Structure 1
Amino acid sequence: MKKMALTLLALAATTLAHARDDVVVLPLADVVQMGLDLGKLDGSVKFYLSGAATPRVSAQLGDDVSNKKTNGVGKDDAAACKWAALSALMAFEASAKQKDANAVVDLHSFYKRNPKKDPVNFECHAGNVVIGVALKGTYARVAK
């Protein structure tokens, strides 16, 4: 019995030592288009990554973070990352509507509270089981 417990403990330690945390970088525009095509986003809220050209902001309506995860078992990392990012954008869109915002500006990756700003891409982290995306942005009203 003791030998079995030690074997299980060693196996668990080995598995944890080899845990995966791959960084996947993808264009946000692909996720927005996927959301529009699938009817998950309605286009009433625009998303502007940090550093990207943004229309004039007439009002800032608060910051927010959306941290979404999905099961990555047996899934392609890029596809799962896009799905997690779409979930985050859907949450931003719903909150933006409640705040009477028509955009989320200064949107950037915020995984483990570490800001990564890129005018085109977002960052996703793919593990052995879970794939996650964390985005931070500011709700705003922008010129149309």
Structure 2
Amino acid sequence: MKKAMLMLVLTAASGAATLPATAADRAMMVPIANALAVNDAQGRLGDTVKFYFGDQKTPKVQSKITSDSTSQKTNSVGKSPEEACHWAFLSAMLALKKKAESVGANAVVNIVSNYKHKEMSSQTEFECHDGNIVSGVAFKADFVKLAE
């Protein structure tokens, strides 16, 4: 009887282990203004580096320093999809700010969503991918020195 019970448990356990895992990956368009309005995003980003999304008008560019990209993830467990996307957005923006400061740029322009290297340009929204466990935001941008 014990041997039969053990076989039943082992069979059930091995069957459960072979079930296919399903991971969510929901693409969402999220308003930039909403993401900037939470998590003290404005305060944490400060005003030493300016950010311009998509084809947004910029002051005169004195020089282009470099281009780069960032892909940031956040734990989405226990968060709404929008909340998780806001955190991933802030992480990506802070990465852009850090890069700008390190290369001597005072602005980041032409910021476009670049999730899995697929560009999506907007002045008002960014693309976020929300999953069951992790959510992510990816940006590509140019780092420039704006004329004073």
TM bucket, shorter chain? 0.7 to 0.9
> Which residue pairs with 1:70 in the alignment?
74
> Which residue pairs with 1:86 in the alignment?
90
Q: Which amino acid aligns with 1:27?
A: P
Query: How far did 1:26 drift?
Result: 1.5
Q: Distance in 2 between matches of 1:143 and 1:33?
A: 28
Which deviations, in whole Å up to 9, do the C-alpha atoms of 1:9-44 show, x marking residues without a partner? 12xx0x32xx211112122233344412xx311111
| Identical aligned residues as a percent | 36
Q: Distance in 2 between matches of 1:8 and 1:58?
A: 59
Task: Work out whether 1:56 is the aligned partner of 2:65.
Answer: no
> Which residue pairs with 2:117 in the alignment?
113
When normalised by structure 2's length, the TM-score is 0.85
Q: Distance in 2 between matches of 1:79 and 1:20?
A: 16
> Which residue pairs with 2:49 in the alignment?
45
1:137 to 128, 136, 141: 141
Query: How far did 1:95 drift?
Result: 1.4
Q: Which ranges of structure 1 fall in alignment gaps of 5 or more residues?
A: none
* Structure label with greater radius of gyration: 2
Relative to structure 1, the CA distance from residue 102 to residue 110 in structure 2 (aligned partners, 3 Å threshold; closer, same or farther) is same
1:32 touches 1:41 (CA, 8 Å); kept in 2? no
When normalised by structure 1's length, the TM-score is 0.87
Q: Which amino acid aligns with 1:5?
A: S
What is the CA RMSD across the aligned residues, in angstroms?
A: 1.5
> Which residue pairs with 2:7 in the alignment?
none
Q: Secondary structure at the match of 1:67?
A: strand
1:49 touches 1:118 (CA, 8 Å); kept in 2? yes
1:8 to 17, 21, 27: 17
Q: Which amino acid aligns with 1:7?
A: A
Q: Which ranges of structure 2 fall in alignment gaps of 5 or more residues?
A: 1-9
Q: Which amino acid aligns with 2:45?
A: L
Aligned length: 137
